[in-house]
Amino acid sequence: MKNYDPNDIEDIKTEQKRLYDEYKRKLAELKKVQKEKEAVGQVFTKGLLPIYVLHILSKYSTNGNDISHKISERTNGLWIPSTGGIYPLLKKFEKEGLIVGEWDNPQKKFQKIYKITDLGIKELDNKKELLKVKMEEALTVFTIVHNDLYE
């Protein structure tokens, strides 16, 4: 049986504690980055998605999958909202009377096609008016910060 020097055991315990503390610190950093990414994503999903969905439906009737594809196309793939975020929004709009959804085939109920209502158009116009100045201010701020950081 090998004898261990008590100093070696103490060194190992010290190194274990250091490694564990470093692990906890790095894990906390990763969680912080994840929360920041989620916050940025919420600007799109909570702030822009509702108005953009109404805007798309003001152009033509369609389903939730197509709305996601249209947003992706318009933003060159920079923003691809999940249908998991779009369909609850469509249900909410339907309950509020802003849109109506009709099954493409009522017997099969394969996909629901949504159409904006007159109330939905009024809501879109109101949201556009309210957000225009804020969006322009945000673009100005983003441009200034971007230029300061990267130019």
Determine the Cα–Cα distance for residues 26 and 9; give it in Å rounded to an integer.
Answer: 26
Structural domain boundaries, residue 116: 6-150
Report if residue 111 sits inside a domain: yes
Q: Using pLDDT thresholds of 50, 70 and 90, give the confidence band for residue 40.
A: very low
Report if residue 1 sits inside a domain: no
The pLDDT > 70 percentage for the chain reads: 87
Report if residue 19 sits inside a domain: yes
CB 53 within 8 A of CB 127: no
Q: What is the pLDDT of residues 99-118, one digit of tens each?
A: 999 988 777 777 899 999 99
CB 103 within 8 A of CB 110: yes
Report if residue 115 sits inside a domain: yes
- Beta-bridge mates of residue 99: 116
Report if residue 120 sits inside a domain: yes
pLDDT of amino acid 64: 94
- Is the pTM above the cut of 0.75? no
Question: Which residue shows structure tokens 């158009």?
Answer: 121
pLDDT of amino acid 105: 77
Q: Using pLDDT thresholds of 50, 70 and 90, give the confidence band for residue 46.
A: low
CATH number of the domain within which 56 lies: 1.10.10.10
**10 Å Cβ neighbour count for 103?**
12
Task: Identify the helix (H) or strand (E) that includes residue 115.
Answer: strand 112-116
Q: What is the pLDDT of residues 131-145, one digit of tens each?
A: 888 888 888 988 999
- Beta-bridge mates of residue 113: 102
Q: Provide the number of structural domains found in the chain.
A: 1
The CA–CA distances, whole Å, from 63 to 33, 68, 86, 121 equal: 34, 9, 10, 18
Q: At what angle do helices 49-59 and 64-74 cross, to 10 degrees?
A: 100
